[in-house]
Amino acid sequence: MRSVMPTAGREKLMNNAQQSSLWTPAIRSAKRTSCGKVRSINEDRILARPEIGLWAVADGMGGHRAGDYAAQRLVDALDHVTPHASAFTYLNATLETIRGVNAALVDESARNPQRKGMGTTLVALLVYDAHVACIWAGDSRAYRWRDGTLEQLTTDHSLVQALIDHGEIDAHERQRHPQSHVITKAIGVFPDLELDKTFSMILPGDKFLICSDGLSNCIPDEVLADELAVPMEVSLQADALLHTAMETKAADNISFVLLHA
């Protein structure tokens, strides 16, 4: 049975990590992707670079296979981010890489009719010592499971989320809304890109999940929490998550990266 560290012990560990980074998490990760049951083309792209502490999911959009092109361009660029001597320079270098891809995609979309309207969501985790930064644009999500509680770290950049925030619809109407597919921010759509970011500490036993909406739309959060609560090796747990997703309608591409600390 999984044990929970006492509160006092966890606070001491966090203080140590903040002051001297004595504890560095040994992150284990597993990535999975599938076309799902309906689509014949997978426009999702995933990246796992545990050697530098970088994981990402990109969900492409656009006709003429422009979506998978945009997602691939972004992942290829992130695959060339190099290690840095500090968390600050690492984060800034990653942000500059993403902004460079955004500018290139906007330019190509304007010049090439077959690329017009292309773009891609992004959710990425950057780990440095016991610190994690989450970066995102669009409706791809990041979750953290800690001590039996699942928390969504990201907020969807979508029309439906805006309607929920303004109290115009209830959260339970999200999936049934006719414009549930409309996102309000993505890489490659507008020249000016403002990425959302959140920062936190990593504690022993934490699990992180970054995913395209193909996963979050077919597995409710309460089911996701139950799945992640099972003590299981990360690769086996990733297999179990994909199996659960494929037991649903799986109408969209399904992609995710699961991390255990």
pLDDT at 65: 85
- Work out the percent of the chain whose per-residue pLDDT is above 70: 84
Tell me, yes or no, whether 13 lies in a domain: no
Query: Between β-strands 44-49 and 28-34, what pairing exists: parallel, antiparallel or unpaired?
Result: unpaired
Tell me, yes or no, whether 207 lies in a domain: yes
Smallest CA-to-CA distance from 139 within 49, 214, 246 is with: 214
Alpha carbon distance 113, 229 (integer Å): 47
pLDDT tens, 7-41?
A: 444 454 444 444 444 577 899 999 999 999 999 99
pLDDT at 67: 95
Query: Between β-strands 119-120 and 122-128, what pairing exists: parallel, antiparallel or unpaired?
Result: unpaired
Average pLDDT in the chain: 88
Tell me, yes or no, whether 8 lies in a domain: no
pLDDT at 159: 73
Across residues 124-136, what is the average pLDDT?
97
- For 172, the domain range is 27-260
Tell me, yes or no, whether 195 lies in a domain: yes
Question: Which of 82-96, 137-151, 160-174, 217-231 comes out lowest in average pLDDT?
Answer: 160-174
Across residues 85-104, what is the average pLDDT?
97
The string of DSSP letters for the chain reads: ------HHHHHHHHHHHHHH-------EEEEEEE-TTT-SS--EEEEEETTTTEEEEEEEE-TTTHHHHHHHHHHHHHTTPPP-SSHHHHHHHHHHHHHHHHHHHHHHHHH-GGGTT-EE-EEEEEEETTEEEEEEESS-EEEEEETTEEEE-----BHHHHHHHTTSS-GGGTTT-TTTT-BS--BTTSSS---EEEEEE--TT-EEEEE-HHHHTTS-HHHHHHHHHS---HHHHHHHHHHHHHTS---S-EEEEEEE-
Across residues 81-91, what is the average pLDDT?
95
Tell me, yes or no, whether 1 lies in a domain: no
Alpha carbon distance 191, 189 (integer Å): 7
pLDDT at 174: 62
Tell me, yes or no, whether 44 lies in a domain: yes
Token reading at 138: 């669009």
pLDDT tens, 168-207?
A: 566 665 666 555 567 899 999 999 999 999 999 999 999 9
pLDDT at 165: 64
CATH number at residue 203: 3.60.40.10
Across residues 90-100, what is the average pLDDT?
98
Instruction: Give the list of residues 6+ apart from residue 92 with CB closer than 8 angstroms, or none.
Output: none
Tell me, yes or no, whether 161 lies in a domain: yes
Please state at what angle helix 66-78 crosses helix 87-111, rounded to 10 degrees: 150
Tell me, yes or no, whether 7 lies in a domain: no
* 17 or 140, higher pLDDT: 140
**Residue 56 confidence (pLDDT) above 70:** yes
Across residues 38-56, what is the average pLDDT?
97
**Residue 244 confidence (pLDDT) above 70:** yes
Number of folded domains that form the chain? 1
pLDDT band at 243 (very low <50, low <70, confident <90, very high): very high
